[in-house]
Structure 1
Amino acid sequence: MASLAVGLPVAQAGPQEDKRKVDRQLEGAKQDLDESSAALQSASAALQSAEVNLAAAQNKLALVRGQLSAAKAKDTAMAAKLVAARDRVTRAKASLGTAQSRVKDQRQAIAEFANANYQQSGLGELAAVLNSESPADLLSRLQIVDSVAQSQATSLDRLNDARAEVAAKKAALELAEADAEHQRKEAAENLTRMRELERQQLEATNAVGQYVRERAAIQATAAQAKSDDLKQYDALLAERERIKKELKELARKEAEEERKRKERERKERERKKDDGGGNDDDNDDGGGNDDGGGNDDGGGLLSRPVYGHITSPYGMRFHPILHRWKLHDGTDFGAGCGTPIRAAASGKVIRRYYNGGYGNRIFVSHGRISGKSIVTSYNHLSRYSAHVGDRVSRGEVIGYVGTTGYSTGCHLHFMVYQNGDTVNPMKWL
């Protein structure tokens, strides 16, 4: 449904009159909906709601799809990271095994050396001195003892290096295993999120499908309601033309009666003059007729039928639902249901009936005012207090404000027919 504010001028900051003008135009735009059936208004509101819901569902689906795509990309990257982390653990374990084998070999070598040293206790420096037969033999024996000591020291150094390497490899393995576990947990959490996003995507997809179906059904309902309202509007146009023809005929008859009355008055004056009656001072050239109010109530001007602010003026406007230019053929006055409606001038009730668009309506003919046939119409009444054929005086209650027909709230739709054509009532009030 089109925004009610579309096409309205923006009020300038400061001047209160500009603000009041815009407020009146906004109120008038809202009152355009009075000419729509409840079914069309409801369908239009439902369609607008369906459009909002569908847009929200589509946005959510797009968001979830984006998040799921990111989660899948992350899952692929994390899977690669996890494989690399587990490979590092495997390599760390293999490296630790190699280091542990070296420690084992060094321990075995030292054990063998200790065993040999135990079995050959004469390899010590004291034994070398005691058992030497000559200085040369002593030197040789001492060299052997030193060589064995150095070999033993080297084996111990290698064992210590191997042990340090094992400790480092263990630390590296622990880090690799911790990193692999971290990667595994992150991958598991991302997988869980991905599964949740897949569930949300399915849910959002179903929601979009549901809203699309709902919108289609509502569009069909709204289209039917719009079609019905257009038919009703066409019927209103046809009735407007019918009323126009009737009132133009009434205006023609009133004009003819006034012409005949003036002709009779002219002949009567001539007869009196011929009979020696002298000049007639009662020359009245615009005196009204028996059915109209004439200008006996205030110089030919009409009185306001109710006291209330104008909610929608007379004129052409673009209907926000039907997307058609329509004539708002009267002036709407805001008033509570049950407010008395008073005749705008003295006259005669000539019509009273119900119409699907105008609701309960009543017509009062005021005869000729200022040379024009004037009829007023009062619409959307809750009930009448005057009957067809009744003569009413200016200010006399003829009915009560209501909201019958195409109306969204209590108000009076007041119309003025001038020679059968609708005109702006404010020119007469």
Structure 2
Amino acid sequence: MSAVVALLCVSVVTGMVNPSASVARRDDDLREKKQSVEKRIEETSSRIHEVSADLLRAQRLVEQARVDLSSARSYLAQLREQVAEAERYDEEMQRRLENAKIRLQNARLDRKQGRLDVTATRASLASYAVSNYQSGGIGLSSLEVAFDSQDATEAVDSIQDVDTVVNKESVALQELQAQEVLLGLTQERVLETKQSVQQSRAQAAENLVSEQILEAQAAEAEREVARKVQTLRYQRERVEAAKRAELKKLASLEAERERTERMLRELAERRAERRAERQAERRAERQAERKAERQADRAAERRAERRADRNVSPLPPAPPAPPAESSPPPSNDPPEAPVDDAILGYPVSSTYVTSPYGMRLHPVLRVYKLHDGTDFSAACGSAVYAAADGRVAQAYYNAGYGNRIILDHGFVAGVSLATSYNHMTSFA
């Protein structure tokens, strides 16, 4: 696991010297008070400037839940359409089955009537045949009638009557044959209708099973959608809670940064006050020295005048007048070594920058925030070095920055420079 070290450089008021021991003691008191306050803060994340891993996981779960919910709803819609189609098909099968039953019933009635007609026709023909046989047959009767006739006309009429009877018998026989054929067709239609009814029943039963399966799948899909909705609601609540926590952390970070800047400004102001006091003291000392020199010169002049008055000897030339008082010379303090931007060294052996200094868009909150440091990648337990010579101004634990050390480098290139080292596993 890698750790992150953030480097914070803050420039404040110029014109100061190194703080005194009393200032250092006040800084120590401030540090101790700050530590006692910060240690009471419970913090679950040591990388406030990075997006919380829990928040990112919650976001991914929300996005996945949305995708799953969309898929589940689409699948549910398809199942519902299939169920509706199965219901329509079932209604069609029921209608066809009812029609087939009606056709079967009509066919059976037609077959029954046909059988009755065939039976009646056969009985009529059988009765006629028996009667004709008992009377000696149609042919002999016709001849007897013709021979017994008084004239030819009567004989012809008798023969025609016999032909009519014979024709009726022939027609009856043809009707019987037709009825038998029709009865056979009706029986075939009854069989076909039975098969159609059986097929319709089988299709209806099969469709009913499919419909029941689809309804069960649709019910499960509805339950799955309900679960996805609940999951999505839960993940949204987690995201909102994580956002609120992230905003709280960011507010804490802003407050800590303002506190640090205020502390550095106060440190720079105290340093400026001390420098001004020392410069004023030195000016006063120089003025006192010059005043004493002038007074000594005037006293020497008076003594010389008195000696001259007593000895009446020529006076030596007067010494040159002292130069007029000018502004005090620059301080004798050793000047600060010139420093350019490259004076700060790397705080860790790794020079890989994971996150540079500057404004950046928060991936979750969608707002621009200042990342006020440079993050270096380093393994846990790696040594952290001072970027430049300086004095430890504060060392404490902070909810946002973790274990933190602030180094005061004094005035560098005319500005007050300090560096901050954060997220350390421990203090050396």
User: If the length of structure 2 is used for normalisation, what is the TM-score?
Assistant: 0.64
| 1:87 to partner: Cα distance | 1.9
| 1:242 to partner: Cα distance | 0.9
Structure-1 separation of matches of 2:333 and 2:134:
163
Please give the residue correspondences for 1:136-285 in structure 2 after superposition, counting only pairs within 5 Å: 143=160, 146-255=163-272
Structure-2 separation of matches of 1:138 and 1:362:
153
Q: Which has the higher helix share?
A: 2
Question: 1:102 and 2:150 equivalent?
Answer: no
Pairs aligned (count):
342
The aligned residue for residue 16 of structure 1 is none
- Report percent identity of matched pairs: 35
Other structure's SS at 2:86 match: helix
Other structure's SS at 1:157 match: helix
Query: Could you list the runs of 5+ residues in structure 2 that have no partner in the other structure?
Result: 1-46, 294-321, 323-329
Deviation digits for residues 277-336 of structure 1 (CA, Å, limit 9, x no counterpart): xxxxx9999933xxxxx547x775323434344333323334333454432222233444
| 1:244 to partner: Cα distance | 1.1
Structure-2 separation of matches of 1:111 and 1:99:
18
Change (3 A) 1:96 1:242: same
Change (3 A) 1:234 1:129: same
The aligned residue for residue 375 of structure 2 is 332
Please give the residue correspondences for 1:5-404 in structure 2 after superposition, counting only pairs within 5 Å: 35-124=50-139, 133=147, 143=160, 146-255=163-272, 287-288=335-336, 294-295=337-338, 301-306=343-348, 307-384=350-427, 387=428
The aligned residue for residue 19 of structure 1 is none
What is the one-letter code of the residue matched to 1:360? Answer: N
* Cα pair 2:48 2:249 within 8 Å, conserved: no
Structure-2 separation of matches of 1:224 and 1:210:
21
Change (3 A) 1:261 1:53: farther
Structure-1 separation of matches of 2:166 and 2:188:
33
* Cα pair 1:95 1:169 within 8 Å, conserved: yes
Structure-2 separation of matches of 1:299 and 1:35:
27
- Which range is displaced more, 192-201 or 240-249? 192-201
Change (3 A) 1:62 1:358: farther
Structure-1 separation of matches of 2:417 and 2:275:
14
The aligned residue for residue 391 of structure 1 is none
* Cα pair 1:89 1:177 within 8 Å, conserved: yes
Change (3 A) 1:338 1:118: farther
Deviation digits for residues 214-267 of structure 1 (CA, Å, limit 9, x no counterpart): 444444444444333332322222111111111222333445566678889999
User: If the length of structure 1 is used for normalisation, what is the TM-score?
Assistant: 0.64
Structure-2 separation of matches of 1:299 and 1:265:
33
Structure-2 separation of matches of 1:341 and 1:180:
90
What is the one-letter code of the residue matched to 1:78? Answer: M
What is the one-letter code of the residue matched to 2:178? Answer: D
What is the alpha-carbon root mean square deviation over aligned residues?
Answer: 4.2
Larger Rg over CA atoms:
2
Change (3 A) 1:123 1:317: same
Other structure's SS at 1:175 match: helix
Structure-2 separation of matches of 1:318 and 1:40:
16
* Cα pair 1:50 1:214 within 8 Å, conserved: yes
Change (3 A) 1:121 1:324: same
